[in-house]
Every structure is written in structure tokens, then in C-alpha cells.
């Protein structure tokens, strides 16, 4: 490393696959320039960093984190760069690291936490028997829970996955649905199948379902059961009543792990019916083995506009309270 006031040269030592570091069309460097006010210029096996001294130092440390991750085999994305930059610029995290890959999809895509909130969420799932994740749309609550479930299944930590949702319509009546029971509940459970399809080939998902290795069922079908040696996920839990959530949580059996997700701003229960999810923090805070994770608009990982939409609704809700 050579040091000049306001500029540094970063050496790309030991980097085999440059795509893992730079990303397609150098988009990882572009992301870093948008997060830290520096200019990056690639010269052979070096990156010239120019800018204010403190910004250059921050950028150099993030590049070092990126290089270590790429050397270890990670295929970096702009989201990884953003997370590393946020950690570097924060004052409460001791070390800058890019999270480990949780899972590699059947299309070869690496799945990792993409925000600090998501990283905390994954850590709580790993360290607790029951985890509640509450946050707005697009924060990865359901997807990451299913990633952790599939990962646990592949690692033989559990023998099956149970996915459930309450069959509550989102503000409009669907009316009579034709077909057998599976066809009738499919519209309610489709988001769970979609998430599974992102991770596992459709033929494998179907095989798992036929063998009851993966079960996707409406909440009403959970009563009277004991779910042992399973990774159990309840999605859209804001649409459960007090009694329904109590029923579901008490299905937990030995050797199982449970994740409950929901968005407190999208409750579709009849007027006057209190959501069971809203009571979770009051009832379970401080109980060993139970974690409550709050995600916010900063953890939204869909289109950038989604986080601004969520924030606009949040401001409106506060104004009308």
C-alpha cells in the first residue's frame, strides 16, 4: 500500500476470480462510490482511491473486506458492499465483515443477509427456538425464514419443514373457489411455494411435498398436532387472533425450531378483532429461547421505491393517530 494525502493505492493480491470481487460491469465499485464519497479507478491489479482522507480510509477498509470475501469464494453483490460500508461508517460494530453465504440456490445464486436487520434476524433464528420477525413488506422476513428452514433440512438438523399461513383475504372477497381442498387454499399459500421455488428446483419441491418432507398448510389444520423434529414457519401472523396464535405456538415439539413473521401495518382481520401478533412483545419479551426482531424500511430489499412507499404510509399513520 502506498500512501499519498487524499489518495491510496489498493493492491488486489491473491484474487483469482475478478468477477467475484468487481461484480458484472464493476457494479460493486459503483455501489461503493455511491456510499462513500471517493473515486475508484482500476489500473491493472490495483485500485486507485481518491477523495478526502477519512473517506479514502473508510473505502480502503471496505475494499479489504470485499477482497477477503472474494478470496474465500463469495460472489459479491452491491448489497454486500452496502452492508460492509454501513458497518464501516457505523460506530457500534467492532469489525467489518460480509456475512457468510446461507444457501446456494438451484440456479447458483448465493443467499446472504443484505442488511444489518436481516443479519440480526438470521442470528436470532440460529440462536433461539422461537423467533418473531415483525416488519414491513419487502424486508425478507418470509424468504429468509424459508432459507433457514431449507438449510436446516439439508444439514439434517430437522427432518421436515412445516409452512403455514392464516387463510385471510386481503381486503377483498374471493368468493367461491373451484377445485379440491388443495386448489382452494393454493391462493393463500402461493407466496410460500414461490419462496421455495426460488431455492429448490420445482421437481424437488414436489417430491418433498409428496413425501411430507415439506408441508404447506393453512393455519386451521394445525390444531391438535405436535410438530416435532421440524422447522416450523407461520407467515402473515398479523392475521391471527389471540387464540389462533396461542394454538399455533403450543404445537412446538421436541427438536423443533419455529419462526413467526408478520407486518403489523397490514392486518386484514375483521374490525374489532385484535391481532395476536401485536401481543407478542408484551407476552414473550425476556423469555429465554424466544427472540423478537423488529425490521424497518431500512431493511427493505425489493425495488428501492418500496422503502419510500413504506415510509410514506408510516408517516401517514403517525399523523392520523
CATH of residue 210: 3.40.50.300
DSSP string covering 58-90: HHHHHHHHHHHHHHTT----HHHHHHHHHHHH-
- Residue 249 within a domain: yes
Q: Output the pLDDT for position 4.
A: 47
Chain segment 282-291, per-residue pLDDT in tens: 899 899 999 9
Owning domain of residue 175: 110-320
Q: Output the pLDDT for position 5.
A: 60
Domain boundary among the residues 56, 75, 98 is at: 98
> CATH no. for residue 61?
3.30.1370.10
Q: Output the pLDDT for position 310.
A: 64
Which of the residues in the chain have pLDDT under 70?
Answer: 1-5, 91-96, 168-188, 302-307, 310, 314, 317-318, 320-321
Q: Output the pLDDT for position 47.
A: 94
Q: Output the pLDDT for position 94.
A: 55
Q: Output the pLDDT for position 297.
A: 84
The four Cα atoms 232, 235, 241, 247 give a dihedral, to 10 degrees, of -10
Q: Output the pLDDT for position 298.
A: 83
Q: Output the pLDDT for position 127.
A: 96
Are 265 and 311 within one domain? Answer: yes
Q: Output the pLDDT for position 66.
A: 93
CA angle (286 as vertex; 284, 289 as ends), nearest 5: 80
Backbone angles phi, psi at 250, to 5 degrees: -80, 5
Q: Output the pLDDT for position 10.
A: 93
Domain boundary among the residues 52, 75, 98 is at: 98
Are 171 and 84 within one domain? Answer: no
Torsion over CA: 144, 147, 149, 155 (sign): negative
Amino acid at each position: 500500500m502506498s500512501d499519498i494525502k487524499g489518495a491510496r493505492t489498493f493492491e488486489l493480491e491473491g484474487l483469482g476470480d475478478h468477477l467475484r470481487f468487481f461484480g458484472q460491469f464493476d457494479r460493486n465499485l459503483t455501489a461503493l462510490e455511491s456510499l462513500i464519497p471517493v473515486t475508484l479507478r482500476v489500473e491493472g491489479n490495483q485500485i486507485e482511491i481518491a477523495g478526502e482522507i477519512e473517506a479514502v480510509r473508510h473505502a480502503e477498509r471496505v475494499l479489504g473486506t470485499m477482497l477477503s470475501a472474494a478470496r474465500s469464494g463469495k460472489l459479491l453483490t452491491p448489497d454486500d458492499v452496502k452492508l460492509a460500508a454501513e458497518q464501516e461508517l457505523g460506530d457500534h460494530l467492532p469489525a467489518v465483515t460480509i456475512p457468510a453465504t446461507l444457501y446456494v440456490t438451484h440456479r447458483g445464486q448465493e443467499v446472504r443477509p443484505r442488511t444489518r436487520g436481516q443479519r440480526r434476524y438470521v442470528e436470532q433464528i440460529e440462536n433461539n427456538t422461537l423467533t418473531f420477525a415483525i416488519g414491513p413488506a419487502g424486508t425478507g422476513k418470509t424468504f429468509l425464514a424459508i432459507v433457514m428452514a431449507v438449510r436446516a433440512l439439508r444439514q439434517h438438523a430437522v427432518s421436515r419443514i412445516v409452512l403455514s399461513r392464516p387463510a385471510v383475504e386481503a381486503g377483498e372477497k374471493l368468493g367461491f373457489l373451484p377445485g379440491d381442498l388443495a386448489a382452494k387454499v393454493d391462493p393463500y399459500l402461493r407466496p410460500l411455494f414461490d419462496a421455495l421455488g426460488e431455492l429448490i428446483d420445482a421437481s424437488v419441491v414436489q417430491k418433498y411435498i409428496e413425501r411430507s418432507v415439506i408441508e404447506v398448510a393453512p393455519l386451521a389444520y394445525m390444531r391438535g398436532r405436535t410438530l416435532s423434529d421440524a422447522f416450523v414457519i407461520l407467515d402473515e401472523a398479523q392475521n391471527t387472533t389471540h387464540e389462533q396464535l396461542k394454538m399455533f405456538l403450543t404445537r412446538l415439539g421436541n427438536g423443533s425450531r419455529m419462526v413467526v413473521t408478520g407486518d403489523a401495518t397490514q392486518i386484514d382481520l375483521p374490525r374489532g378483532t385484535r391481532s395476536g401478533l401485536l401481543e407478542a412483545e408484551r407476552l414473550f419479551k425476556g423469555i429465554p429461547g424466544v427472540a423478537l426482531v423488529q425490521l424497518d424500511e431500512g431493511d427493505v430489499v425489493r425495488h428501492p421505491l418500496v422503502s419510500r412507499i413504506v415510509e410514506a404510509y408510516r408517516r401517514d399513520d403517525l399523523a392520523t393517530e
